Structure 1
């Protein structure tokens, strides 16, 4: 079963019964699997049974050449170590979440005039957090509601502290301008309390409070205030009509796993205070198909390793060791979490909804995969390849008349875009506008790592089978020359030359040493795949270029004004919290900055107006 050099009997005989982590390696010392155990002897010994092993574990044990263990003080400690090792090494036989980004929250800061802001990362900053939300889009949509309905400030503190008059947000009725005391601290605190009530799902109380304030203002003939509350009430009712609210006020994440022979999807619905915050699909990377309980166990461990779970997790299968999960949550988050898998009434409806969405996500994923498979197959035929490529990359260069040149490197595999392998390069030290020099620098910086040790590069740094170069013969020659100099002949080089009038579908491919021009039909699946890769490379390059260019222009614009040196420039930017504040400032406001005379303030004002 295992490699002949590994003596399982001797190993098991001497193995401890303590809690810990075990690591399985193949004959090339590649880590295949990481696991945890309350009793290492029993858990590791179970892999050496003569019968009853799952298909996945049979495939795993056929490759194991060595097993190493790390003893821990408890199974909870083992879970933490296991998770860290999985994140660090990405073992082949572990279930891996593809999206390892931390989840976004709404953060209410703790200060005299608090603000609501988008937040991602460890929740170490003081204040109150709402979420997590399934996507950054869900956070931004909610923050937009907060501004429209409750008029909570969203500016940073530097901008806030240096205002002498209300900004545009006040004029368009998205802020009450606490920066200039247009609203007093007590009134602003009430705005905050209303916003918090909304985020916590206390909608009935909130509507009653706003309605009471509206009638009270009308009785006092404060008609402007009454109109404000009326508009707020109408806006809130419209928003709440669009949201699915249940009578259940608890927090829960509903987790549904759906599988077929080759693919698994996990659908998570997030409910906070009875309000659905949205849903997200996960396609864990799985080698072989383990039991559903094992998949959910691994998913929950990774999902909530860095973020606190709600008070209840509702699953369509019971995780393989929910007692360990509960102990971990209690230890790390000082929170008792209920893990349910047999539910009734509204919870059953939630779970059914999650399962239906999971089935739909699985179906769409398979359709997308079939399209990609067909595209890969046609591309293989069109380029006369012996087998379909595993990894393809495309490079592009973007600049504005030579300014702020940025190059992109994007990667596609059999699943589509592989964004974890995307790279941007700031191009330096070349003649402005020299696309060939930019392409040469990009390729050398990217491919020099493969020069001598291509076989030893981490999996995240794999060399592509095909490299697409966006451009004509000139760019193709540069790429050919660089790869030749670096001694990397194995990469298939394909130039994507623009067609007549640069229209999509009229591109020609430059392939091979003979520089043969291949014209694919506009409806060819291979052409669609190439266009997708090329367009993604262009998008990635141009967004990087625009960001770099705009920052450079904003930083340098004040230097063009006579009398503004680095010191005064920094003073202006600091006082007005950026170039936009300087542009909008009056002559009188500009004079308040240290070192800015009336004459210089007038000069600055007229420069922008």
Structure 2
């Protein structure tokens, strides 16, 4: 779309907040943006001199402009992020993170089970998370079950079935891992209280869980149930020990989100720390690909909104290295200069630097498509690290295995000039 073509329809764009969408000749969405003043913002694309080829290319491809008026800048901000997430337009910032994150689900059913899932189903169940590691989620569920007895069976524990005596307690009950709701040995109110303690643990609020166990311990002691009181005391000791080992930032901090950014010529990297009740409960770092002339502030603002949405953050304070545009007035933006918050920001920056270095190292190791100079550079580095007399242009690696001392086998992989040579791979049956 030329400047003259745009001027013919510029008067139809209002001076109001909203989002605008650019489409090409094939009606493919190219770009989504937000603006306090739609006409001023859209007009700027057709009146300024561009410093990058990508912005110039975007303007040349525009054939249709659509806009949506909203009530406030905050609404425009939220709508822009949701549209980018849904359509992923070619010229918008691309969050290069296509993982499906695991959740802990509290199933909507009588005496709800808790388990790991990667799919959110609109069935009324409660989903806690997401979390960045499935392995950590499994460890967390195992940790919870050590202290809070919950059922793991798939039985339909309706009141009608329980009253008819359809079920019998299983081994989990006799091991102390379940309190037997299937036989009516635990009522729904007591089970719901246990689930509330699960929620507290997942939010990092171990203090509430410890207080709950202390109350139970005192109740058992008052009723002369000393064995049960001793069991509660051991649980309290273990939780207090775990709490002392966890990453406590500050007992004076409540729930905050911490973001740090590192930007180079091609990509930006954003690190995220979720802090709940003074404890770091989630960490995540993602690469982003700016497509136009976005500044660090614009990239970080986009990442903050997207990551907070993905991780269902409810923190009312965001800690960042510089001021960013975040129109939600209920959220406070903090740029710390010293103290615990500055230490958190430094930790996030340390994580983002490590993440970038790891990506660089991985890129070096993936030599396919690299130039001969890049391949030789890696081989020379390997020669130096291993103190070899010659450049390792041909590498063979062997691995041996057996089945309880019998049926020995061996395998060999081969690398030529730093690349896998799969035609030279071998498998051996070893005779001894």
TM-score grouping bracket, smaller chain normalisation: 0.7 to 0.9
Larger relative CO (CA 8 A, sep 6+): 1 or 2? Answer: 2
Aligned to 2:401: none
Work out the CA distance in 1 between the residues paired with 2:82 and 2:191: 44
Aligned to 1:165: 168
Aligned to 2:389: none
Aligned to 1:66: 63
Aligned to 1:23: 21
Q: What's the CA shift string for 1:291-312, capped at 9, x where partnerless?
A: 1111122223333456643222
Q: CA 1:205–1:530 in structure 2 vs 1: closer, same or farther (change >3 Å)? A: farther
Aligned to 1:312: 317
Check if 1:366 corresponds to 2:355: no
Work out the CA distance in 2 between the residues paired with 1:9 and 1:62: 14
Q: CA 1:90–1:238 in structure 2 vs 1: closer, same or farther (change >3 Å)? A: same
Does the CA contact (< 8 Å) of 1:18 and 1:38 recur in 2? yes
Aligned to 1:377: 370
Work out the CA distance in 1 between the residues paired with 2:338 and 2:294: 28
Q: CA 1:36–1:138 in structure 2 vs 1: closer, same or farther (change >3 Å)? A: same
Check if 1:271 corresponds to 2:264: no
Aligned to 1:232: 235
Work out the CA distance in 2 between the residues paired with 1:153 and 1:377: 54
Q: How far off is 1:99 after superposition?
A: 3.1
Q: How far off is 1:147 after superposition?
A: 0.8
Q: How far off is 1:364 after superposition?
A: 0.6
Aligned to 1:349: 343
Residue of 252, 255, 258 corresponding to 1:251: 255
Work out the CA distance in 1 between the residues paired with 2:59 and 2:127: 48
Q: CA 1:17–1:217 in structure 2 vs 1: closer, same or farther (change >3 Å)? A: closer
Residue of 526, 530, 552 corresponding to 2:419: 526
Work out the CA distance in 2 between the residues paired with 1:42 and 1:5: 14
Work out the CA distance in 2 between the residues paired with 1:306 and 1:197: 21
SS in 2 for 1:69: strand
Work out the CA distance in 2 between the residues paired with 1:341 and 1:200: 25
SS in 2 for 1:375: coil
SS in 2 for 1:270: strand
SS in 1 for 2:70: coil
Kindly tell me the number of residue pairs found equivalent between the two proteins.
384
Does the CA contact (< 8 Å) of 2:30 and 2:58 recur in 1? no
Q: CA 1:204–1:32 in structure 2 vs 1: closer, same or farther (change >3 Å)? A: closer
For residues 284-433 of structure 1, what are the structure 2 equivalents within 5 Å?
A: 284-287=288-291, 290-305=294-309, 308-310=312-314, 311-319=316-324, 321-323=325-327, 326=328, 336-342=330-336, 344-372=338-366, 374-377=367-370
SS in 1 for 2:342: helix
TM-score (norm 1): 0.54
Q: How far off is 1:170 after superposition?
A: 2.9
Larger helix fraction of residues: 1
Aligned to 1:551: none
Q: What's the CA shift string for 1:16-74, capped at 9, x where partnerless?
A: 323333333456665432212232210012223444x5537644456334341223233
Q: CA 1:159–1:213 in structure 2 vs 1: closer, same or farther (change >3 Å)? A: closer
Q: What's the CA shift string for 1:103-128, capped at 9, x where partnerless?
A: 55444457663443446666966576
Does the CA contact (< 8 Å) of 1:378 and 1:525 recur in 2? no
